[in-house]
Structures are given as C-alpha cells and as structure tokens.
Amino acid sequence: MPLWPAGVIGSLAHSDTLAIAVLSRTQQYLGVDVEDLFDEKKVELLLDTVLTKNEKQNLSADVFQQRWQLTMIFSLKEAAYKALYPELKAFIDFHQFEVDLSLQLITYESGRVLRTYVSREDAHVISVVYL
C-alpha cells in the first residue's frame, strides 16, 4: 500500500501496457483499476466468481457487450476494494459489492454507496471509485 503525503489519498493500477494513478485531497475513499478487455474464455471463467445475481440478470445478450460489461464490473470491484481497504484492512469478496453500471454506483454489503467512473479506452477499462 503506497504512503501518500499528509492530506492526500491515492491509488495506483496497471495492466501489461497501461499504468494509472489518481490522487485527491477532497475524497474520503479513492480507488483505481485498469484491465485489458476480457476475452470470451475469461468471461466464462469469471462470470460466477465476480457477478451477483442482479448483475448477471442485467448482462447484455450480446457476447461482445458482455465482455465489456464483465470487464467493467470486475474493474470497478477491484477499485472499490482499493478504496475501502485502508479503512477495513480485510479481504473483500467480489459478491460483497453490487455494481449498477447505469447509475454509476457500487454498493458495499454494509450499505455504503460509492460513486464510480468507468472509461472504455481502446481495449482497456479504467475504473475509479470514490466518495
């Protein structure tokens, strides 16, 4: 876990080809993640591990769109974990988060709701979770 200057919080992420850092002096929680677009094999492998029942019901029927959706949800949950870990200092399972892509929110099982920003850049997803 990086050490930031007093009054600053931040988060780091990288893939094989992209690195990103976000910093803030005003947010209480902040996490970032970057993922390469999942292929169909990875979607099949992670579908049950990552998605809640509600998230599965909201998946597109289009296989290409499902790849983007699962990559975004996975990335948002990774960013949320990074945002909450400094306070919780505990492992958080993917199913403890519920992502609503349309409202750009992610809810932790405690009821805490975090805002999200997700961007599709070329074959990458960049996610930021904050409050």
What digits encode the pLDDT tens for the residues 79-114?
999 999 999 999 999 999 999 999 999 999 999 999
Spatial distance between the Cα atoms of 95 and 51, rounded to a whole number of angstroms: 7
Per-domain boundaries in the chain: 9-105+115-130
Residue 46 contacts by C-beta under 8 Å, 6 or more apart in sequence?
Answer: 38, 70, 74
**Comparing 108 with 2, which gets the higher pLDDT?**
108
- Per-residue pLDDT for 1 more than 80? no
Spatial distance between the Cα atoms of 82 and 11, rounded to a whole number of angstroms: 7
What CATH number does the domain located at 9-105+115-130 have?
A: 3.90.470.20
Cβ 9 vs Cβ 27: under 8 Å: yes
Which amino acid makes up residue 120?
R
pLDDT of 3: 87
Place of tokens 């029927």: 61
pLDDT of 124: 94
Note the Cα 44 to chain centre separation in Å.
19
pLDDT in tens, 55-75: 999 999 999 999 999 999 999
